[in-house]
Amino acid sequence: MFRLPDPNLRDEELVLYYYGEARNPDRIRRCLESSPSARARYDELCRVLAAVDELPAPEPPEDYGAQVWSRLAPQLRDRGSRRGIREWIAESLSPSVLFPPRRLVAAGALVVMLAVAFVAGRYWPAAQRGIGEPLPPSGRERIMLTAVGRHLERSQRLLVELANAAGNGGVDVADERAWAEELLPANRLYRRASQHSGKAALAAVLDELERVLLDLARGPEEISAAELEELRSRIDGILFKVQIVGSHVRRRGPATPQAPTHPPVAGGHEV
């Protein structure tokens, strides 16, 4: 494949020799000793592969395993392999059971969003500060909460859209999938920030939301009606939490509006 000037030694043989898998290493060693051109080629290969070793290898924190487990454990329960009484109770009390019609859930989401918009519109101006005025001690946190509030609002729109998707035969979720992909990096960022700042409840909701976004973003562009139904059952639970936490966060957060309330449009969706 890469036959080079030295007719007795191919590059493939040098690669296998480098990795200790040559069929006849003694022959190659002798050839390298006797042929300066072969030696030069092999030295160049060694330098290139040694350069590859310089690629930084990140070192996860000591408690990384515990972090992975904390994200994984609820998913294992969601997948329903082993269901206990706690899961049964949680499921029985989930909004999908308490408020079965999906339209009602969507309508509830709309009411919450309108109420939040009304409250925010009423109190927002009073909280504005002059340009250049230093942030109060809680300023950074409030800016973060404002951003998280907007993120939850956008996520809520996606969830409502999915909850109301038509489900006959194959369902095209390409747009929702792209939308989830866009939301995912921000969700990770906010989840980590919430974890680091000790906001356990917010972090838990963001974590749950992340799993839905991740499955959607990594899934196919078309799903079956049964898959959509499964997705909906997960969404109904998370949607309710996102509404509650989102409205709570947005009430606490918008003290220092710095950006237009209408986010930029990307990929056909407001993000």
Partner 1 sequence: MKNDAGPPDEAAVIARARGGDDEAFRQLVETHSREVFRLAYRLTGNQENAEDVVQETFLRAYRALHRFDSRSRFGTWLHRITANCATDLLRRSQRDPRWDGPADENFDAFASAEPGPERLTLSAEIERRVRSGLAKLTPTERTAFVLRHFEQQSIAEIGRVLGSRTSATKQAVFRAVHKLRQELAPWVEENHVQVA
Chain contacts with partner 1 (rule: CB under 8 A): 1-2, 11-12, 15-16, 19, 21, 44-45, 47-60, 64-69, 71-73, 75-76, 79, 81-82, 185, 188, 214, 218
Closer to partner 1 by Cβ: residue 36 or 185: 185
Q: How far is the CB of 77 from partner 1 (least distance, A)?
A: 9
Taking the C-alpha atoms of residue 239 and residue 155, their distance in angstroms, rounded to an integer, is 9
Q: Name the residue type at position 64.
A: Y
Burial of 239: CB neighbours in 10 Å, binned 0-12, 13-18, 19+: buried
Between 12 and 172, name the residue whose CB sits nearer to partner 1. Answer: 12
Whole-angstrom CA distances from 164 to 38, 48, 260 are 67, 55, 29
The CB-of-187 to partner 1 minimum distance in angstroms stands at: 11
Nearer to partner 1, 210 or 236 (CB): 210
Cβ proximity to partner 1, 11 vs 91, nearer residue = 11
Pick 46 or 135: Cβ nearer partner 1? 46
Alpha helices, H only, the chain = 11-18, 25-34, 36-53, 64-78, 85-92, 95-98, 102-127, 139-163, 174-196, 200-218, 225-252
Q: How far is the CB of 270 from partner 1 (least distance, A)?
A: 21
- Using left for φ > 0, alpha for ψ between -120 and 50, and beta otherwise, residue 80 falls in left
Q: Which residue, 180, 188, 170, is CA-closest to 67?
A: 188
Least CB distance to partner 1 at residue 66 (A): 6
Q: Name which of 73 and 110 has its Cβ closer to partner 1.
A: 73
Min dist. Cβ of residue 105 to partner 1 (A): 27
- Report the nearest approach of partner 1 to the CB of residue 265 (Å): 19
The pairs formed by 202-205 with CB atoms below 8 angstroms and a separation of 24 or more are 202/148, 202/245, 202/249, 205/238, 205/241, 205/242, 205/245
